[in-house]
Amino acid sequence: MLSKALHAQIEEELNRFSHSFQHSTLYEPVQYLLSLGGKRLRPALVVMASDACGGNHSEALPAALAVELFHNFTLMHDDIMDNAPSRRGHPTVHVKWNVNRAILSGDAMFAMAYSLLSKSHKDQLPELLGLFNKTALEVCEGQELDMQFETRHDVSIPEYIEMIRLKTSVLVAAALAMGAISARANPKDVQALYTFGENLGIAFQLLDDWLDTFGEQKRVGKISGGDILADKKTFLILRTRQKADAESLATLDHYTGNPTADPNEKIAFVSSLIRRNGVDLELLELAESYRIKALTSLENSTISTEAKGRFFAFADDLMARDH
């Protein structure tokens, strides 16, 4: 999907930067979390956008690395809030060390993101910093909404879309826009790339929800259903609740928040209810509509046909994940 050389360069720069902080144990959890790897999608998008707008790698790298540090900072703190035991097959920071270390090293990681960003060219720094600050607050607002949803019973579908836009999409959008800004792109192209990322991010997250319930079923003959077991208020559940008949809703209510329910029976009932109401297909259609919005925005930009082609291929790869 992304160039191996670019991935390797990002990996090397992250490793070099995080290991330049050796004088305090504060930085050990930062180095640990970064060493667990990841797709490095966001920094790669910064560099791809910079390339597309005629910029060079070295001028885009500070923003690229800043976005990845920020993303990992949110993971470190979200894992505390979500009480998550593991990430990428390894213990989370608050489990391997403790909650206080995860709070404090997360804070340091946030400051490290700004340290990286401040290495950007001074002519672009105010605009980059403004977008980065706005995005950081939006991501926090998204996490706040996500936590609120756990105890709310009146979450609407537009609210759910807004939550995933804030929690996931705006950072993808900002990554692309920051790459464009680093390359001194015109404001129209910066906005076009932002809108591309914003809509592609929503499509991506919707599809992630679909995969959580139906992805594994197709690939390995069993369903994962983590969202169902956690009673997550995703589009699949919110829309099914709008469409299902009274009897099915009563059974759904019986399973919801019921720790004594058999997990396999719960997953089987809920996923079948989603399918019976056609909500699985509705989700795929909705995700596709956001993908189209994303592509239309990019089409209207002034970046080269070749660069557009690379982003289209990237969007196709992202959306073609095992479904």
Using CB under 8 A as the criterion, which residues of the chain lie in contact with a second copy when the complex forms? Answer: 21, 23-26, 77, 80-81, 99-100, 103-108, 110-112, 114-115, 118, 122, 125-126, 129-130, 132-134, 136-137, 140-141, 143-145, 147-148
CA distances from residue 239 to 35, 160, 270 in whole angstroms, order as listed:
39, 11, 12
CA distance 298 to 307: 10
Q: How far is the CB of 133 from a second copy (least distance, A)?
A: 4
Q: Which is nearer to a second copy, 39 or 152 (CB)?
A: 152
Q: Which is nearer to a second copy, 85 or 126 (CB)?
A: 126
Q: How far is the CB of 182 from a second copy (least distance, A)?
A: 15
Q: How far is CA 126 from the centre of its chain?
A: 25
Q: How far is the CB of 180 from a second copy (least distance, A)?
A: 19
| Cβ-based burial of 126 (10 A; exposed 0-12, middle 13-18, buried ≥19) | exposed
Q: Which is nearer to a second copy, 99 or 313 (CB)?
A: 99
Q: How far is the CB of 72 from a second copy (least distance, A)?
A: 13
Q: How far is the CB of 144 from a second copy (least distance, A)?
A: 4
Q: How far is the CB of 101 from a second copy (least distance, A)?
A: 8
Q: Which is nearer to a second copy, 1 or 104 (CB)?
A: 104
Q: How far is the CB of 298 from a second copy (least distance, A)?
A: 28
Q: How far is the CB of 126 from a second copy (least distance, A)?
A: 5
Q: Which is nearer to a second copy, 103 or 249 (CB)?
A: 103
Q: Which is nearer to a second copy, 104 or 313 (CB)?
A: 104
Q: Which is nearer to a second copy, 110 or 314 (CB)?
A: 110
CA distance 233 to 153: 9
CA distance 181 to 186: 8
Q: Which is nearer to a second copy, 152 or 321 (CB)?
A: 152
CA distance 266 to 256: 9
